[in-house]
Amino acid sequence: MEFLPLLLVIFASIFQGSFGLGMKFMAPLKWEAWWLVHSVFALILIPTTWAYIVVPDLFNVVTSASSGAIITAMVFGALWGIGGIMFGKSVPYIGLSLTYGIVMGVCSAAGGLIPYFTADNPTQSPAFPYVIGGVIIMLVGVAITAYAGVLKDKIQGAAQGKINLKAGLTIAILSGLLSAALAIGFAKGKDIGALAEAAGAISRNGSLAIWVVVLWGGFIVNAGYSIFLLAKNNTWSSFSTPQASKAYMWSIGAALLWFGALGIYGQGATLMGAIGDVIAWPIMLGLSLIVGNIWAYLNKEWENAKKPFNIMLLGVLVIIIAVVIMSYSKTVG
């Protein structure tokens, strides 16, 4: 059973690395229409339904939590939502590959280290050198993979707008920091998970009650931004676009994969104990980067880019080494 927590995080990374496939099938819906549907399912309907099934008296559990715990969880969820919007704003300045690499690197490091350094006497833990070393090696792996993506884009002549490195880097770093709020919100919501367990939920399922509250905050930002764009661009008619059923299906399918990743990650992190708040997040994001590149390879996105592909494989190897080191930290923590 000791391997179960890590196995759950690995499964979560597969889902996390796969949900983006749905974004290739938005047409004929406008982005804001597709994203609003996706947000309703990913942030409200699926998390609440899953939690309702496995957490006895879910709504009483949530409402019995202190207002401070609820507000804190929702605020971190909202910050994550802002981070996601900033991701999209950074891409036109520095390109998708570089933006993705920076955001993934900052998000994985901040999402693991902030909970770690807010715990009691983190530097005194036997796991300290393994956690820090693992995160640093993970950052190196993500950087190598991002560099490979940038080279690939250059070789393939990927379209890119006017470069503004300073603005793009600033926005991407902020996006990474804010995106890490999802992991921090989960760590801060442990009181809600404890209430779920007290109501009769098994330990790993108590985590689902936390996500329900955190994602309310994320939904407010994501839905609000989508509605703003629908009004600004006058694209409400996109919902009734003919032959949009495939786009709707991919929007919902991507939502299932996205929250499937988050829900399973939460279970794995919970079973890891206190160290789970630290190592599970970077492990999931690092492995999901590998999964995403596997899908990219299968979709021939690395075609005619042999050198960048080999560099990407090096990055994958470094990420795997980081995962092994951080997984080992659980045995000494």
> For residue 227, is pLDDT > 70?
yes
pLDDT tier for residue 9 given thresholds of 50, 70 and 90: very high
pLDDT tier for residue 1 given thresholds of 50, 70 and 90: very low
Does residue 326 contact residue 134 with C-beta atoms inside 8 Å? yes
Residue 267 neighbours by CB under 8 Å, 6+ apart = 8, 204, 205, 207, 208
How many other CB atoms sit within 10 Å of the CB of residue 332?
13
Does residue 115 contact residue 190 with C-beta atoms inside 8 Å? no
pLDDT of residue 304: 82
Q: How many domains does the chain have?
A: 1
Higher pLDDT, 127 or 160: 127
For the residues 148-167, what does the mean pLDDT come to?
72
pLDDT of residue 60: 95
Higher pLDDT, 234 or 114: 234
For the residues 8-18, what does the mean pLDDT come to?
91
Residue 14, SS3 per DSSP: helix
Q: What is the pLDDT of residues 74-84, one digit of tens each?
A: 999 999 999 98
pLDDT of residue 88: 79
> For residue 305, is pLDDT > 90?
no
pLDDT of residue 160: 53
> For residue 161, is pLDDT > 70?
no
Q: What is the pLDDT of residues 307-321, one digit of tens each?
A: 888 998 998 899 889
Domain that holds residue 264: 4-332
State the average pLDDT for the chain: 88
> For residue 61, is pLDDT > 50?
yes
For the residues 148-161, what does the mean pLDDT come to?
72
pLDDT tier for residue 146 given thresholds of 50, 70 and 90: confident
pLDDT of residue 218: 95
pLDDT above 90 covers a percentage of the chain that reads 45
pLDDT tier for residue 73 given thresholds of 50, 70 and 90: very high
Structure tokens at 147: 């560099």
Candidate from 36-50, 87-101, 268-282 with smallest mean pLDDT:
87-101
pLDDT tier for residue 327 given thresholds of 50, 70 and 90: confident
Residue by residue, DSSP assigns 248-314 as HHHHHHHHHHHHHHHHHHHHHHHHTGGGHHHHHHHHHHHHHHHHHHHHHHHTTTTTT-HHHHHHHHH
State the Cα–Cα distance between residues 68 and 318, nearest whole angstrom: 40
For the residues 163-188, what does the mean pLDDT come to?
86
Kindly report the pTM of this predicted structure.
Answer: 0.85
For the residues 102-120, what does the mean pLDDT come to?
82
For the residues 53-69, what does the mean pLDDT come to?
95
Angle at CA of residue 21, ends 18 and 25, nearest 5°? 160
DSSP conformational letter for 30: -
